[in-house]
Amino acid sequence: MPTSKGAMFDPTLVTDLITKVKGKSALAALCSQTPIPFNGLKEMIFSMDNEIDIVAENGKKTEGGISVAPVKIVPIKFEYGARVSDEFMTATEEEQLDILTAFNDGFAKKLAKGFDLAGMHGVNPRTGESSSVIGDNHFDAKATQSVDYTSATPDTNLEDAIKMLDGSDGDVTGLALSKTFGSDMAKIKANGIKQYPEFAFGASPASFNGIPTSVNRTVSGGATKVHGIVGDFQNAFKWGYSKEIPMEIIEYGDPDNSGKDLKGYGQIYIRAEAYLGWGILVPEWFARIKEA
């Protein structure tokens, strides 16, 4: 058998899973991942309080000053399980791998969506409610700078949000935009000509004006309707996996608390877990575009 109770995801499936998460998650698409130790990672954020000084020969040197603030990134467990026929246990290895590959594909899509909903809005994806496990480690809580969304002029909203970051010395290395934002961008015309055809027909351009971009419905998935998060995803946001992704094949009991015994219904339960951590290192380097 390719897997058993307590086994890890096959390395090939893990690579495939991570690739698919990057393709489906706005946050993963805009920021490369960093491996996160199981016990967490402490990022030290240094802020130089003054500008650099020019000193004449034998001249007096003065202190510039420095502020240090640690940001702890602790992996959070994301879990998904599903029941399948117990014929899985007697299938050939090739057939078992086909089932696990299909499960991996679905798990990747759910994990990508869950990461965005948790990291952007602080919600448990299954319940849609705020998660005490996440606390305020999400953009809706941390990114306090915001611009009110106007459907007729989303491009102006985007300019205003970027301008807002100029005052906090932040660079814009990524744009996470909602499907509504993309649709409204596609409608803008001048003299009957579409100004932003790259957004037409629900498209998600990989970049807009040279800035990495992701148009994703998860951006507006919180209690507050957010249509854009712009900022320095490359330098002021960090995320990653704990490298081990455990999988269980459960043959007995009622692991999903459905009231249906596995043996009684001729089923087994496949459960996978991923430990995912993230941190917003410099919140003032981000701004949201949201409905008033």
Name the residue type at position 248.
Answer: E
What span, in angstroms and rounded, lies between the C-alpha atoms of 141 and 205? 27
Q: Is residue 93 part of a domain?
A: yes
> Which residue reads 């390719």 in tokens?
2
Where in the chain does DSSP place strands (E)? 41-48, 66-73, 76-85, 146-148, 174-177, 189-190, 193-194, 207-208, 211-215, 226-231, 237-241, 247-250, 267-280, 286-290
Backbone angles phi, psi at 136, to 5 degrees: -100, 20
Q: Mind listing the pLDDT tens digit for each residue in 165-217?
A: 987 777 899 999 999 999 999 999 999 999 999 999 999 999 999 999 999 99
Q: Is residue 22 part of a domain?
A: yes
Q: Is residue 2 part of a domain?
A: no
**205-244 in b/e burial notation, b at 16+ Cβ within 10 A?**
beebeebbbbbbebbbbbeeebbbbbbbbeebbbbbbbee
Given this model, what pLDDT does residue 47 score? 55
Q: Is residue 57 part of a domain?
A: no
Q: Is residue 152 part of a domain?
A: yes
* Residues paired with residue 45 on neighbouring β-strands, in sequence order: 69
H/E stretch holding 21? helix 11-24
pTM score, two decimals? 0.86
Given this model, what pLDDT does residue 21 score? 87
What span, in angstroms and rounded, lies between the C-alpha atoms of 243 and 75? 11
Q: Is residue 4 part of a domain?
A: no
Q: Per-residue DSSP letters for 228-270? A: EEEE-HHHHEEEEE-S--BEEEE-SS-TT-SS--TGGGTEEEE
Q: Is residue 3 part of a domain?
A: no
Q: Mind listing the pLDDT tens digit for each residue in 6-24?
A: 566 777 777 788 888 888 9
Cα–Cα distances in angstroms (integers) from residue 56 to residues 51, 53, 59, 65, in the given order: 16, 10, 5, 20
> Which residue reads 């629900």 in tokens?
202
- What is the SS3 assignment for 19? helix
Q: Give me the chain's average pLDDT, please.
A: 87
Q: Is residue 6 part of a domain?
A: no
Q: How many domains does one find in the chain? A: 1
Domain range for residue 27? 11-52+65-290
Statement: residue 62 has pLDDT above 70: no
Q: Mind listing the pLDDT tens digit for each residue in 214-237?
A: 999 999 988 889 999 999 999 999
Looking up residue 24, the CATH number of its domain turns out to be 3.90.1690
